[in-house]
Amino acid sequence: MSVIETRNLCKYYGKHRGIVDVSFSVEEGEIFGFIGPNGAGKTTTIRILLGLIFPTSGTARIFGKDCTREGHEIRKEIGYVPGEVNYYSSVTVDELLNYSASFYDRVDKKYIKELCEIFELDPKKKFRELSTGNKKKVAIVQALLHKPKLLICDEPTNGLDPIMQNRLFEIIRELKGQGTTIFFSSHILSEVQKLCDEFAMIKEGKVVKTGKIEQLAGFNYKSITLQSRQIDELERTLKIPHRRIDDSTISFKYSGDINELLKKLSEIQIENIWIEDPSLEELFLSFYEEGER
């Protein structure tokens, strides 16, 4: 049984599209990246999973239970890091975390302290006194303190500095090691590639691609950049659509037989060559273009 399963999930806000026909599944113990730009429908999907809003049609199930009808049962086992963090401004971090803990049975107070130390949070500070990043850290601790079976994060690194982002990634990997399932929404492809096992890409409310994260890294072309003093001859010999970067450099995408390319290149004096996997940003565009066809 999948931990999360959505089938043809649609949400319209009046006439306005939220998400359309969103179907994916997340298996136990995996880190699932949900990638899409602003307005793609990530938060809408998450809010349906949490039972905060109801779908217009389709189904969403967590641990086999219906997110709309059995939300109160499901939520006991979920930790949620919201995209935007807003709590009562005059409560302290300590008060807030204790209040959160009171919703669950058997929360280990030592674990809360440990989490505050990891994220360098001052428990005595009032919420309004915290910076955006520190507010985010409170939300992260609040999502983790009851050791949920499923952690749902909506753009969790927003506002965190690189050191804290790494600490969050370390904790997420540790949790995965302990069998926790993680749903990780982001618009930053590189962090999804660093962390996740599987992914779904969402664009304008629709899932355009799902798969294993390796598929993102090994998309079937290479980005090649060549530097040569015989640039005109190089262009004539290659006969491949390319971009001229300057007087001696061209770059192009290549998905054919690499031996054929090397044979052609051996005829020309090459000063430098860079052969790279496409960046995730390029992949994003490729998948998007694929989705549009």
CB 57, min distance to ligand ATP, A:
16
CB 36, min distance to ligand ATP, A:
5
Q: Which of 15, 16, 72, 293 forms a contact with ligand ATP (CB under 6 A)?
A: 16
d(CA 195, CA 176): 11
Q: Is residue 41 within the footprint of ligand ATP (CB under 6 A)?
A: yes
Closest to 264 measured CA to CA, from 291, 240, 292: 240
Task: Give the ranges where the chain is alpha helix by DSSP (H).
Answer: 42-49, 71-75, 93-101, 109-118, 132-144, 162-177, 189-195, 214-217, 231-238, 258-265, 280-292
Q: Is residue 33 within the footprint of ligand ATP (CB under 6 A)?
A: no
Look up residue 167 and give its amino acid: R
Dihedral class, residue 114 (left if φ above 0, else alpha if ψ from -120 to 50, else beta): alpha
d(CA 255, CA 211): 20
Q: Is residue 83 within the footprint of ligand ATP (CB under 6 A)?
A: yes
By CB under 6 A, which span of 13-21, 108-116, 264-272, 283-291 interacts with ligand ATP? 13-21
Q: Phi, psi (5° rounding) for residue 119?
A: -95, 10
CB 37, min distance to ligand ATP, A:
7
Q: Is residue 187 within the footprint of ligand ATP (CB under 6 A)?
A: yes
How is residue 52 annotated by DSSP? S
By CB under 6 A, which span of 10-18, 90-98, 115-123, 193-201 interacts with ligand ATP? 10-18
Q: Is residue 39 within the footprint of ligand ATP (CB under 6 A)?
A: yes
| Residue with smaller CB distance to ligand ATP, 43 or 142 | 43
| Binding interface with ligand ATP (CB under 6 A) | 13, 16, 18, 36, 38-44, 83, 187
